[in-house]
Amino acid sequence: MNDTPPLQIAIVGAASCTGDEELTAEEVGRQIAQAGAVLICGGRGGVMEAACRGATGAGGIAVGILPGGMEEANPFCTVTIPTGLGIARNAVVVSAAGAVIAVGGAYGTLSEIAMALKLGCPVFGIQTWKIPGVVACMDAGEAVARAVSTAGRDTGNVPKSGESQ
């Protein structure tokens, strides 16, 4: 039984990414697991796959929340949630996180950053969209440390049911 709900941190980024972004994402996943938190992501390739590989390689839990079916999942997810919701699954990814770390990314990532900020969920960015409210970080270490610190201090960042949007 949990005295407190599990700390959950999301990584968002593109399914197609650079080698540098992949290295960063894998390190983010590893450090989230080492901090005892659950990794939440979109479950697909690129940044998501690298983060899952890092998290599960370090003995952690990686959750992939997919837009379509199970066949979209990368092979490093501990749990897959094939939602069938299409792009609306982006809302579920950020709703499930106490903090979000954005690595690079394109329009899908931007939508996740925007919805996280709308929900009052803190967003830490590494070489990503420059949007007011996103806390720019130098590297994986800084982003995870700040995300864990913030999400752990305040588990109230997830959407409350019935909150007006």
Interface segment toward its own copies; rule CB under 8 A; list 20-28, 73-81, 135-143, 144-152: 73-81
Q: C-beta of 139: minimal distance to its own copies in Å?
A: 25
In eight-state DSSP terms, residue 86 is G
For 70, phi and psi rounded to 5 degrees? -55, -30
Q: How would you classify residue 159: left for phi > 0, otherwise alpha for psi between -120 and 50, otherwise beta?
A: beta
| Tokens, residue 68 | 């379509």
CB closer to its own copies, 45 vs 142 = 45
Q: C-beta of 31: minimal distance to its own copies in Å?
A: 18
Residue 59 near its own copies by CB under 8 A: no
For residue 122, how many other CB atoms are within 10 A of its CB? Answer: 21
Residue 58 near its own copies by CB under 8 A: no
134 and 125 in contact (C-beta within 8 Å)?
A: yes
Each residue 81-120 as x (binds its own copies by CB under 8 A) or -, in order, gives xxxxxxxxxxxx--xx---------xxx-xx--xx-xxx-
- Cβ-based neighbours of 78, under 8 Å, separated by 6 or more: 56, 60, 61, 62, 63
Q: Which residues bind its own copies (CB under 8 A)?
A: 1-3, 5-6, 8, 38, 53, 56, 61, 63, 65, 67-73, 75-92, 95-96, 106-108, 110-111, 114-115, 117-119, 131, 133, 155, 158-165
